[in-house]
Structure 1
């Protein structure tokens, strides 16, 4: 609904500018032809009243865009009327036809132009037949001067409108990309975005010979929290844990919700000792969270990037296996994965 109203307002502005400038072209020709009061009254109403009437009709219609497309068809038909009433005066006739065609292309492309062009041709032919089919194609100096505002104003107005629309599309796409990078519940990075970062970090660490580590974390007994307190309680724990992660990791690290109650943290430049310190800080802070009478804890697997890890998948798999070992050996603990791919048994 809001998008439709913005669309109608944009068309109203363009229609008002275009018809206002186009009125000067028509008026100059009418002046030279000594047109009667009826053509003058029709031209004034079309230029200065119709843009607001068209907006009112479309904005109050249940199908706003459809109604505006009908209005655009009326614009084309009226353009044909003016061409005939101006006795096909060459310059203003070409200007009106080209500007009306540009309108249709900007709004609905070739399909809309093809739908409205017959109305323009038939309106022109009918008006010419009624008025005697007079042809006077010469454009005087007065008419040329009167056409100058339309030549200058309308292309600038349509270009500005197109630029504003393109800029809004770019902003919307950027917003959508940002939304796609965030997990809706926790506000952490999404799994897909985090995976891209993991691939990039692996390449960077390989090329520069830097350390890097990964944490895979799982909230212990999360099913019990959901069973006792409901999904609302579970969601609250996940949000609390996400906030805890943000406070516990470094500014260069990236935490993400991997799946359900499983989280991952990418630690660029971190060796085994640094990764273990961060993991222990997270584990200790998690002990302060309670939900539905359940004291929360977290199991953490650590995988330092090693030469034998040929891909980001193998790195993630190592962290996942280390996490599994932590859960198997009692939960609420940290388990690393050693450089040869063997799980380190607890003491």
Structure 2
């Protein structure tokens, strides 16, 4: 796996990490849900206005009913959105708005007559919104509300029309029956894309270090365990490196933690530029890194670290021009003497301390 696949610079790393760690409170998480329902409601009610009006005009309703129809079709979607946005829990408020939709839809179905073609389109819209928002449970609740309000309205209005839509009703309703499911499918597709992106961010959070973008310690040790088992079964070679920034505490104390972060990121980039794409780099702690080099001998690991040592000699930190970075490296090649992957890791750790005790800025190999 490439260690720099998703991380081209530290700004991108910090931005991605901060987005992933944003608090997922009910208000913040409910807004996208309300926005999705808002678009479906705006398009659905506006698209049904003319088909419903073509039926209601034959029922000789008073002007107040027409004002209510206009308000429901063109004002209610925006009012419902504002109510959801201002609520502490927009998701719960939007569920309530959907139930209001179901109740009002039942009233209009009763006024139009349950067999009118626009009534069928209205039921389709309400049913799709309910199913898409809350599954079967909300769908059944919405259906019950719609049926109840329809029966009450029929009882009060006392008008039922036969299923004999004229060409005008067909012409106004059929485009809605074709276009609204397409809109709903598109909204569902967008939601699926956002969920996939959210899962990708969660995967990054669980495996990557926030500052550098390389693997975190937990995931790196899992990769080491897998590599150890592979080497044990196939007897192929592999080498691990433990790398520590020399005098890192002095850098932090002298220049501040910002320069310390610069040092960590600089070492990360040097490792990424020097090592192969398939080498697994992990951050073990504050200033300690670890590398798994599959199918590589200890000599190849030493040669790679020699190139890193040479590059660091000619590099300075932007925040501390006079400071020179050095690293100490412990190298341990896999061998059958290691009975556990932690024993292999311990050998590299002993080699690292050997490098530090020998004067730092050098690479030592496990005995």
TM-score in terms of structure 1 length: 0.80
**Which aligned pairs between 1:183-262 and structure 2 lie closer than 5 A?**
183-202=209-228, 210-262=236-288
Which residue number in structure 2 is paired with residue 158 of structure 1?
184
Distance in 2 separating the partners of 1:286 and 1:138 = 83
Closer, same or farther: CA 139–303 of 1 in aligned 2, 3 Å: farther
Distance in 2 separating the partners of 1:49 and 1:230 = 57
**Which aligned pairs between 1:284-323 and structure 2 lie closer than 5 A?**
284-287=310-313, 296-323=325-352
Which residue number in structure 2 is paired with residue 135 of structure 1?
160
Q: 2:36 aligns with which of 10, 14, 36?
A: 10
Distance in 1 separating the partners of 2:162 and 2:204 = 57
| 2:203 is equivalent to residue 177 of structure 1 | yes
Distance in 2 separating the partners of 1:265 and 1:91 = 68
CA contact (8 A) 2:237 2:294 kept: yes
CA contact (8 A) 1:21 1:153 kept: no
Which residue number in structure 1 is paired with residue 353 of structure 2?
324
Give 1:264 deviation, angstroms. 0.8
Closer, same or farther: CA 45–234 of 1 in aligned 2, 3 Å: closer
Give 1:330 deviation, angstroms. 4.1
Give 1:124 deviation, angstroms. 3.0
Which residue number in structure 1 is paired with residue 298 of structure 2?
272
5+ residue gaps in structure 1? 338-342
Q: Which has the larger radius of gyration?
A: 1
CA contact (8 A) 1:283 1:299 kept: no
Distance in 1 separating the partners of 2:326 and 2:42 = 66
1:146-167 C-alpha deviation (Å, 9 max, x unpaired): 5423332222211111111101
CA contact (8 A) 2:37 2:129 kept: no
SS of 1:259's equivalent in the other structure is coil
Give 1:135 deviation, angstroms. 3.0
Give 1:259 deviation, angstroms. 1.6
SS of 2:284's equivalent in the other structure is strand
Closer, same or farther: CA 252–50 of 1 in aligned 2, 3 Å: same
1:284-343 C-alpha deviation (Å, 9 max, x unpaired): 444555869775432211111223345543432322232233334443332212xxxxx3
Distance in 1 separating the partners of 2:110 and 2:102 = 13
Q: 1:42 aligns with which of 42, 60, 68?
A: 68
Which residue number in structure 2 is paired with residue 71 of structure 1?
97
SS of 2:290's equivalent in the other structure is strand
Distance in 2 separating the partners of 1:111 and 1:229 = 60
CA contact (8 A) 1:298 1:332 kept: yes
Closer, same or farther: CA 25–310 of 1 in aligned 2, 3 Å: farther
5+ residue gaps in structure 2? 1-26
CA contact (8 A) 1:213 1:269 kept: yes
CA RMSD of aligned residues (A): 3.4
Give 1:282 deviation, angstroms. 2.7
CA contact (8 A) 1:84 1:124 kept: yes
Q: 2:130 aligns with which of 99, 104, 116?
A: 104
CA contact (8 A) 1:283 1:297 kept: yes
Give 1:215 deviation, angstroms. 0.8
SS of 2:296's equivalent in the other structure is coil
Distance in 1 separating the partners of 2:185 and 2:125 = 12
Which residue number in structure 1 is paired with residue 78 of structure 2?
52
Mean Cα deviation higher: 278-287 or 109-118: 109-118
Which residue number in structure 1 is paired with residue 364 of structure 2?
335
Mean Cα deviation higher: 289-298 or 143-152: 289-298
> Relative contact order (C-alpha < 8 Å, sep 6+): which is higher?
2
Which residue number in structure 2 is paired with residue 340 of structure 1?
none
SS of 1:266's equivalent in the other structure is strand
Give 1:49 deviation, angstroms. 3.7
Give 1:242 deviation, angstroms. 1.9
